Amino acid sequence: MVEIDELGELAARLITPQGYEALVEDVCRQLIGNVDAKVYRNKNYCGISGHSHEIDVAVEFEVSGLRLLVLIECKALKRPVGIEEVMVLLQRLRDTGAHKGVIISLAGFRKGAIKIARANGVALVHFRGALGSLAWISTTRSSANTG
């Protein structure tokens, strides 16, 4: 299991899931700066299955006329994110046709979740409570897997 930062553990006890989503939405708005993008919280996207997915935070932007969609799941859990949460996001990515998935957690990630995320290109971020304390976990696919 990945170590839990003390501030992250305290924040997980104090913040509501809705408050955490709002905080991540604000951080996303700050990070995108001057990029022509729209940030949404709790927006519904209809998948190819016909199922509607409510996404915690979504970022939509255009590059050279191509519409790109990033789905962000906010996990204000008292425990590290496990494989199950990564698998749910992967299904949402497939169903909605989104281009990138990100999970932002207050309590970090279990080793199995990191392994599944790396194998599928999902970005993992351990959010420790301030804009300057985002710990990105490398989820770059290994070149050995390109076979």
Q: Are 141 and 118 in contact (CB under 8 A)?
A: yes
State the Cα–Cα distance between residues 13 and 26, nearest whole angstrom: 20
pTM > 0.85: no
Q: Residue 7: enclosing H or E segment and its boundaries?
A: helix 6-14
Most confident segment among 2-11, 90-99, 102-111: 90-99
The angle formed by the CA atoms of residues 120, 139 and 147, to the nearest 5 degrees, is 55
- Structural domains in the chain, CATH included, are 6-141 (3.40.1350.10)
Note the pLDDT tens digit of each residue in 17-69: 888 788 777 777 776 766 778 999 999 999 999 999 999 999 998 877 788 99
Q: How many CB atoms lie within 10 A of CB 10?
A: 12
Q: How many CB atoms lie within 10 A of CB 112?
A: 15
